[in-house]
Amino acid sequence: MLNRDLPSNDAPRLWRDDDPVDDFNEVPADRIFFAVKPPPATASSIARLTRYLRDKHRLAGMSIRPDCLHASLFLAGYHGQMPPGMLAALSEAASTVRMAPFRVSFDWVESFRHRRRRPLVLRGDDGTDGLIWLYDRLVSATLDINGARPSARSDITPHVTLLYDEKAIREEPVEDISWTVSEFVLVRSLYGQSRHITLGRFTLRG
C-alpha cells in the first residue's frame, strides 16, 4: 500500500489521546512518560494512514491526534503521585544519555488484544531496534532515581498507537513509515483531554 494512494480528505478528523506505554491501567491521573515523537510531516502521513485504515476496516475508534502520536519508552509515573524532586531528577538523568541519532522504521500494522480496547498499532522489526537501544540507555541513566520503575526489557514492544477500537485487525503490511530520531521527550499526558505537555526535550548525541 503506497502513501500516495491514501485519501487525504475522506473522513471526519476524529482524535483522542493515546494511552502512553499501553499499560491499560484505568488510573484517573496525568501520565508522565518518556517517548519518541515523529516530526510533523511524518505525523501527518501517519494520520492519513490511520484514516485510510479506519475506512478500510470500518473502525469506529477515534484516531490519535497527530501531535500526540509517539513511540513510548517508559512510564515515569503519575502527576501528583511522584516523589518530590523526581521530575527534576529524571530530566537531569535524561540529559546524560549519549546516543547517536538513528533511523526508526515501521512497515506493518496489527491490533494488540487487550480486554475491550484493542489498540491498532504501527509495528516494525529490525527498523525499531534503535528504540530498544535508547530505552536501555535511558534505563541505565535513571537506575538510581527513587520511584523510577521502567518496564522490563522483555516487555518492550516498540510501536506507535493509531487508535483504539473494539474490532481487532490482523497483521497487515503498509508502506514503510520512517524518520530520523534526533531527540526524545518527557511528556505529561493530560488525563481525558487529548493533550500532551512537553516537560523536556533531550537531543541525541553520539
| Each residue's pLDDT tens digit, 47-72 | 999 999 999 999 999 899 999 999 99
Q: Name the pTM for this structure.
A: 0.83
List domains and CATH numbers for the chain: 3-203 (3.90.1140.10)
- Rounded CA-CA distance 31/187 in Å is 8
**H or E segment and range at residue 201:** strand 195-203
Q: Which of 98, 83, 68 is nearest to 198 (CA)?
A: 68
- Rounded CA-CA distance 144/97 in Å is 14
Residue 81 confidence class, pLDDT cut points 50, 70, 90: confident
Residue 26 confidence class, pLDDT cut points 50, 70, 90: low
- Rounded CA-CA distance 101/67 in Å is 21
